[in-house]
Structure 1
Amino acid sequence: MKKLTLLTVTLGLLGCDTASEPEVAKGSAASGQGLAEVTLDAKPGTGRWYTRAQVERGRETFGQYCAACHGANAEATPNWRTLDANGHYPPPPLNGSAHAWHHPLAVLSMVIEEGGEPLGGVMPAWGDTLSEAGIVEVIASFQSYWSDEIYQLWLERERASRGLSAD
């Protein structure tokens, strides 16, 4: 059941096929934090787990590596729910209008780091290109498009995935 759930999660995050790997060294954000350091405490300026600086750095990275497939504002491509000619789903929106908000940070991070290939998709792996902090910032960037209602629903799920009670 766990593999089926992970496959379902990933299918929605997949769908971008790139012709070549980017020629970029694995970077690290200046004052970035990795996934293990992420707390769910609301930060000043955003009221969410991430800071404005993380969103800004993440948007730059998203623009460089993700926007070609997921859209400049994480809005996805037309007909993202319809299989393409190769039998793959196109990249879904990450702006809160699809299902990315159903998944905890650990799953979102894993899909970005490992790509979709391990689960039958075509999204490239970014773990050799992006630092863990960079991946966290990319997630912050697309979560910043989420409405407060969607963010709160996600936050409940994130807390549950960590075994935390609602505040």
Structure 2
Amino acid sequence: MSRAIKIWSVPLILLISVGVALSVFLGGSSRSASLELRPGDAELVRRGAEVYAQNCASCHGVDLKGEEDWQSGNADGTLKAPPHDETGHTWHHDDELLFRVTKFGTVKALDLKDFNSNMPAFEGTLTDTDIVAALSWIKAQWPEEIRERHDMMNERKRSNKQ
């Protein structure tokens, strides 16, 4: 290998690495930089409010209340959109599962057979950062006690993986 190639290969590899890292961090990739929800990140939560309003509110409600009588099924056998506020079960699921359900849809995320769901998959529609932003906005709306319980559940899950 010539000396010129050796000299330029290190900076080129570094440049490519930085580009990939920035792409993932800024949401330009389908890979997630972090699945941890960040309800305390004001800029991310602001972005999440916009993403939620454009993609989620039509089913789950502007006020996060879900569809009326959400615990009963629809005539076609699908489930109604649940609330994402403290009255629903969203906060009972860890960050990773919430992300997977949003990105891949309920059926694929949970590997369910013979289950009909109206929950669309947002893979290809929203970036991973948009999904984390929307979920972070939802979490930011929960009472502090619910957020703390959700954080503890996530911490237990992370501890069990190690």
Calculate the TM-score normalised by the size of structure 1: 0.69
Deviations along 1:43-92, whole A, 9 cap, x unmatched?
Answer: xxxxx654011111011011111000000122211100011111122000
Deviations along 1:89-121, whole A, 9 cap, x unmatched?
Answer: 200011121111111111000000001243322
Identify the match of residue 160 of structure 1 among 118, 137, 156. 156
- Which protein, 1 or 2, shows the higher relative CO under an 8 Å CA cutoff with sep ≥ 6? 1
Aligned to 1:89: 79
Alignment of 1:21-32 (within 5 A): 31=26
**2-structure distance, mates of 1:30, 1:162:** 21
Residue 105 in structure 1 maps to residue 102 in structure 2: no
Residue type of the partner of 1:100? T
**1-structure distance, mates of 2:128, 2:106:** 17
- Give how far 1:38 is off: 5.2
User: SS state of the match for residue 84, structure 2?
Assistant: coil
Task: Kindly report the root-mean-square deviation, in angstroms, between the aligned alpha carbons of the 2 structures.
Answer: 2.5
Aligned to 2:129: 133
- Give how far 1:32 is off: 5.7
CA contact (8 A) 2:35 2:99 kept: no
Aligned to 2:34: 37
Closer/same/farther in 2, CA of residues 35 and 146 from structure 1, 3 Å limit? farther
Aligned to 1:77: 67
- Give how far 1:155 is off: 0.7
Q: Give the number of equivalent residue pairs.
A: 130
Residue type of the partner of 1:141? W
Closer/same/farther in 2, CA of residues 111 and 31 from structure 1, 3 Å limit? same
Closer/same/farther in 2, CA of residues 38 and 115 from structure 1, 3 Å limit? closer
Calculate the TM-score normalised by the size of structure 2: 0.71
CA contact (8 A) 1:76 1:91 kept: yes
**2-structure distance, mates of 1:29, 1:71:** 30
User: SS state of the match for residue 37, structure 1?
Assistant: coil
- Give how far 1:35 is off: 4.5
CA contact (8 A) 2:85 2:141 kept: yes
CA contact (8 A) 1:29 1:131 kept: no
Identify the match of residue 143 of structure 1 among 117, 120, 139. 139
Unaligned runs of 5+ residues in structure 1 are: 1-27, 41-47
